[in-house]
Amino acid sequence: MAQLLAIALLLISFQVSALAIEWIPLETPENNGNISSIDGNPVLDYNNAGRGGIDWHVSGIGPTGGLGLRELWLYDDSAAGIPGTSVATTLFSVISNSVGFVMAGDHNDGLAQFFVDDINVGTYDLFQTGHRVLVISGLTSIAHSLRIVQLGQHNPNSAKGDVAIIGGAAFNVPIVAVPEPGAYLMVLAGLGVIGLQIRSRRRAAIRR
């Protein structure tokens, strides 16, 4: 029976982390333009995005601006014949399993596409969202890069298609162990094999 329990525990302990993507409100106070924690997890590295980019590199043909140390603005100037197609990128200097795009959204904001390590994690409408964080967790523990592409598009309610970036955060989220369905099947198969062995031994003992 001890052998049975040991095998079951061994099989259940085989875990894998799953990539999770969600928007959460930004509730932590800023410290000189920096965010100290995301969803209760201490920030290991924070790349500030203010006027001129600061810790972000800006490229593309759209005009840019900002609000001091607090926000980097990627403008949509379609009215002047310049659609907003600016791109902002940043690279963290620490290893982490989670990252966050710290964003601001008001009546002027539009659609933007988000990338982590050149992997597309979604296109989102930032219209009147307020201060929010796009959290991507369950990543491989490396130093990650972030990229935001302003699409120059907006919903009919938005005046323009601007994108306002507060910054980017690297942090660790505790890994919650969740067995894969295959692990349960392995446990059942193992239990079945051990059960057959026990039955066979009992039959052999009776025959003696």
Banded model confidence at residue 153, pLDDT cuts 50, 70, 90 = confident
Q: Say whether 84 sits in a helix, a strand or coil.
A: coil
Query: What pLDDT shows up at residue 194?
Result: 63
Which of 8-17, 22-31, 140-149 is predicted most confidently? Answer: 140-149
Of 144, 146, 150, the C-alpha closest to 87 is: 150
Query: What pLDDT shows up at residue 18?
Result: 72
Tens digit of each residue's pLDDT (9 = 90 or more) over 45-103: 999 999 989 999 999 888 889 988 889 999 887 766 667 789 999 999 999 999 999 99
Query: What pLDDT shows up at residue 62?
Result: 81
Whether pLDDT at 183 is above 60: no
Tracing tokens 């201490």 back to the chain, one arrives at 42
Query: What pLDDT shows up at residue 207?
Result: 61
Distance CA 203, CA 208 (A): 9
Residue ranges per structural domain of the chain: 2-11+178-207, 18-171
Lowest mean pLDDT among 39-43, 95-99, 155-159: 155-159
CATH architecture of 18-171: Sandwich (2.60)
Query: What pLDDT shows up at residue 117?
Result: 97
Whether pLDDT at 114 is above 50: yes
Residues 6+ apart with CB under 8 A from 199: none
Q: What are phi and psi of 161, to 5 degrees?
A: -120, 40
Of 25, 37, 21, 60, the C-alpha closest to 73 is: 60
